[in-house]
Amino acid sequence: MPDTGSRLAAEARPRLAPKVRLRWDRKDECYMLLYPERGLVLNATAAAVVKLCTGEHTVAAIVERLAEQYAPQPPEAIEREVLTFLHAMVDRGLIRSDG
């Protein structure tokens, strides 16, 4: 059963909800989350998180990948930001959690 709450465990495997798509907007040169009759513009960091939300990567693996990508930022800060973003996306129904 999908997680509809705002808590995500480190072993959760987030993925985009049905009917939600990640798209590159050529005009504005940014990534967007598209969902029925709406769109959400993503900054580069948010897009990096969403690209890893395939259902294959755990939250812990996403944090680890981004910690490598955004070094020398402290891993704890990256984890906090990733979890805050993912919780907001889960609360909005744009990302689901398996596991």
pTM score, two decimals?
A: 0.84
Q: Is the pLDDT of residue 8 over 60?
A: yes
Segment 34-50, tens digit of pLDDT? 999 999 999 999 999 99
Within 13 A of 74's CA, how many CA atoms are on the CB side? 3
Specify burial of residue 76 (Cβ count, 10 A radius: 0-12, 13-18, 19+): exposed
